[in-house]
Amino acid sequence: MKSKMKFLWFILTGVLILVWLFFPSIFNWWAIHIWNVPVDQLDEVSKLGPLGDIYGSLNTLISSIALCAVAFSTWLQVTSLKETRIAYERQFKLAEDVHNEQIKESREAVFANKFYSLLNYKKDKLNNIELTLKNNEKVKAYIVIIKLSMMFGNEFRENNFKENSIKDLRVCFFEMSLRICSDPISPIISYFYAYIDIINLIKNAKIPEDDKDFYRSVLSNSMFQEEQIVLFWIAPMFANLRHILIDSEIFNMFSAQENYIEYALKYHDISSFRIEEWKKVFIENNNTST
């Protein structure tokens, strides 16, 4: 409707301009054929008397109307250009939003692909590790991890490691691993280092914080309880592991048992735990950072 009105105004403006341009000829024709004014009197408007006044008034009126029409037409053009610019800006903003959304979806898809690829790599790595026990039996890595977890729990009943240095912890761990396996324990340690890449991927991802929390939860739930306990045990011995666990909330499968609390307070950060029970322990002991 608006565009139709503008079109009619442009037509009217054009007609008025034509009338204005050809008004002298139209007036002459009207004066000769309608008012019967002699042709020789039309050479000078001042000799026409009242007709000259009419001519002058009409000429002024038509000129004024034409100028108003031109002004209004110009205003319509300016308004039309403004509306076109606004419409273009809206289209540009819409296109930009669509583009940004596509980039976001693409970024999230790339991240998810990397995350689950690393998760599968971690799983395959664990399944491919075989170690020889002291009785010469070859077992999968998860069996060794379960045995290490049980030994760690038993050791805590005798020694809570409260006074131990990092070096002492490492020596103790390797000594206990030798009680279980004839093979070096290094493949198990290498397996736990796979968590560094996965946690770093989550931390550095340009995705919403809610999504990061979801992926942290998925990572935690991909572990079994004994695996988390062994990681809890050995992480302080290796600086890279200990550092990467900060803000990971990876521990969610074992409660704040009394014999673990001192170890956690000394060697771990509150942000490594997802369970509220553990967070409460750190807060009550005024220990919220390493």
Could you tell me the residue ranges of all domains in the chain?
2-100, 129-284
Which is higher by pLDDT, 222 or 1? 222
DSSP-derived pairing of the beta strands 130-132 and 138-140:
antiparallel
At residue 24, the pLDDT reads 61
Which of 87-91, 108-112, 168-172, 230-234 bottoms out in mean pLDDT, i.e. has the lowest?
87-91
Region 159-183: mean pLDDT is: 84
Q: Residue 84 pLDDT > 80, yes or no?
A: no
Q: Phi, psi at residue 234, to the nearest 5°? A: -90, -20
Which pLDDT band holds residue 51 (cuts at 50, 70, 90)?
A: very low
Q: Residue 17 pLDDT > 90, yes or no?
A: no
At residue 27, the pLDDT reads 61
Which residues contact residue 290 at a Cβ distance below 8 angstroms, ignoring those fewer than 6 apart?
242, 246, 267, 268, 269
At residue 25, the pLDDT reads 65
Query: pTM of the full predicted structure?
Result: 0.68
Which is higher by pLDDT, 82 or 138? 138
Which is higher by pLDDT, 234 or 164? 234
Compute the half-sphere exposure of residue 71: CA atoms within 13 Å on the CB side of its CA: 6
Q: Residue 58 pLDDT > 50, yes or no?
A: yes
- Biggest CA–CA distance in the chain, Å, is 138
Which pLDDT band holds residue 145 (cuts at 50, 70, 90)?
A: very high
Region 265-286: mean pLDDT is: 94
Which of 109-123, 207-221, 251-265 bottoms out in mean pLDDT, i.e. has the lowest?
251-265
Q: Residue 203 pLDDT > 90, yes or no?
A: yes
Which runs of consecutive H residues, i.e. helices, occur in the chain? 2-33, 50-128, 141-158, 166-180, 186-204, 209-221, 225-234, 239-244, 258-267, 276-284
Q: Phi, psi at residue 132, to the nearest 5°? A: -100, 125
At residue 21, the pLDDT reads 55
Mean pLDDT over each residue of the chain, to the nearest integer: 82
CA separation for the pair 142, 148 (Å, rounded): 10
Which of 16-25, 174-183, 260-269 bottoms out in mean pLDDT, i.e. has the lowest?
16-25
Q: Are 207 and 107 in contact (CB under 8 A)?
A: yes
Which pLDDT band holds residue 135 (cuts at 50, 70, 90)?
A: very high
Torsion, CA 156, CA 159, CA 162, CA 164, rounded to 10: -110
164-199 as b/e, with b when 16 or more CB fall inside 10 Å? Answer: beeeebeebbeebbeebbebebebbbebbebbeebb
